[in-house]
Structure 1
């Protein structure tokens, strides 16, 4: 079965991610305290996930799954929160375009490294000329966006 049907959903999710930093920046301005704003930003997510879990509690993890879990596996949310907090603090200083461009370009470049080395249990995809060119074009694009 082809995963092509997932692409529009992923594109919509990516487009919606551009809204997050400006929305969080406005929240920080309104609440003044960036840590309170971060907390308020995450509360609806936590509430949604609790409701979803209560509505669909299965499957539950197995003891083997929990005991063999890598130490870093539960830290993905913490890593993601860094991006949210960074946007909340800095998007209004550089603009949504440069912020998103820098974030996405850094994400692409790091993802190329994750793929190349097969980090975090991801299937290994070696760097090649086309992947390096894509990363270079992303980098060139963000330089243009940030400069102009």
Structure 2
């Protein structure tokens, strides 16, 4: 893989992460207007379908294989349930934790779960052993989460002591 291709993938991953706080903040306001976070979750996912269908049509993607659909294991369909879980929890937690707190904690959960998935090569992923440097990187990320989420409390206690 060329360095330019790799840089493009890194940029796309960063964009994917950058949309999360926007989505969460917008859906939080939608929940207020609709009266409940689950209504906002449903609306968000319906808009996702309405945006995705014309893209699929424009790209002229072939229909999926009915044979695969019939024999795919049930766990392969869980992605949608995880999506509902993420969107609904974001809508419920962003007002309480703030966008940065929610994203930091969500990132911490993603890193920990990803390391388990990689270590065991679950769901057909390439195995990546849990090494000391990878664990150290996760610990540094967790320390960052603590600083992002609890820095106002830490500042107050430092001021009270000083």
Q: Give the alignment's TM-score, normalised by structure 2.
A: 0.83
Q: Which has the higher helix share?
A: 2
* The one of 104, 125, 142 aligned to 2:107: 104
Paired position in structure 2 for 1:78: 81
1:58, 1:27 → 2: CA distance? 32
| Shift in CA distance, 64/39, structure 1 to aligned 2, threshold 3 Å | closer
Alignment of 1:1-148 (within 5 A): 1-2=1-2, 3-4=5-6, 5-148=8-151
1:24, 1:63 → 2: CA distance? 34
Higher mean C-alpha deviation, range 2-11 or range 84-93: 2-11
Q: Deviations over 1:86-106 (max 9, x none)?
A: 011121111111110000111
Segments ≥4 residues shifted beyond 4 Å = none
Q: Deviations over 1:40-90 (max 9, x none)?
A: 111210101222233334333335533442321121121022111001112
Structure 1 residue 122: Cα displacement: 0.6
Higher mean C-alpha deviation, range 127-136 or range 4-13: 4-13
RMSD: 1.6
**SS at 1:139's partner residue?**
helix
| Shift in CA distance, 67/123, structure 1 to aligned 2, threshold 3 Å | farther
Aligned residues: 148
Higher mean C-alpha deviation, range 51-60 or range 110-119: 51-60
Q: Deviations over 1:93-130 (max 9, x none)?
A: 11111110000111011000000000111111111011
Where in structure 2 are there 5+ consecutive unaligned residues?
152-162
